[in-house]
Amino acid sequence: MATATLVTANRRKTAAPVPSPDALHVSKTSTVLTFGVLLLSALYFLVPVWWLIVSATKDDGDLFATNGLWFGEFNLFQNIADVFTYETGAFPLWMLNSVIYAGVGGAVATLLGAACGYALAKYDFWGRGALFAFVIAGVLLPSALLTIPLYLMFSWMGIVNTYLAVLLPAFVSPFAVYLCRVYAAASVSDELIEAARIDGASELRIFFSIALRIMSPALVTVFLFTFVAVWNNFFLPLVMLSSTDLFPVTLGLYQWFSRQNEPVYSLVITGAFLSVIPLVIAFLALQRFWRAGLTAGSVKS
């Protein structure tokens, strides 16, 4: 009997306090407001995507005669066929150019950013703080301001209207250096580096075999950000390129859209819809590295 009384008393002491009606009301109000804000944000981002998908299924007549957010006559496959055959297949070439610009530029920018960020984080040398301050300034500087100086410099070098005119600016990313420096400082331990040095590993082997593996979540982030930025870049190719065979897909679709004598609005919209697909594929293919990076070290062995 005494034991039962003691257990009951302990349960009363440890029982959670019952929230007051006012606290419940405030909690419900905050939940509703949060849900409303998130819903509006989702609509803000998803409505343009929905409009693009719906519009890609329409011809030029239905684009202006039907509801913009709902389907008309389904012409998606015909529009895709017209996009790939219009102007003797210029669109596939533009897509290939965009893949080259974004893929090669993103890979090189990621590798260079990882190397620079790792060096700034793990090597002590004179002027390291000032150099990192210049990197921060580069992150804050809009890239469009550098387009005209780059054009003048590339014109003097004789590489305007070539692949290098778009690729070389993509190779340098202050954001990549900044993010890799922060991530390397937080994730790559000095003890691990010292252990590798004691085992006889060179600095290059430590970087490529150890540091890059640990920094993989940051590298994926840098690659995707750079890939998307170069893929969507418009002003730099507009200034640097004059040959249509070198156009990325953004500049090529703009050329179609700006024609006054032969409007091809349905082809432009369908081309824009197709140009988004590689970005979705890249994100879906690389998101597992984010999950692995977020859960690394969370389970004690």
pLDDT at 300: 42
pLDDT at 298: 38
pLDDT at 141: 87
d(CA 123, CA 118): 8
| Other beta carbons within 10 Å of 152 | 11
Asked whether the beta carbons of 239 and 146 are under 8 A apart, the reply is no
pLDDT at 299: 41
* pLDDT (tens digit per residue) in 151-178: 999 999 999 999 999 999 999 999 999 9
* pLDDT (tens digit per residue) in 215-259: 888 899 899 999 999 999 999 999 999 999 999 999 999 998 887
Show the low-confidence residues of the chain (pLDDT under 70).
1-26, 260, 289-301
pLDDT at 288: 72
d(CA 268, CA 246): 18
Share above pLDDT 90 across residues of the chain, in percent, rounded to a whole number: 45
Contacts of 120 (CB under 8 A, 6+ apart): 128, 131, 132, 135, 177, 181
| Other beta carbons within 10 Å of 84 | 16
pLDDT at 294: 45
pTM summary value: 0.83
Asked whether the beta carbons of 278 and 99 are under 8 A apart, the reply is yes
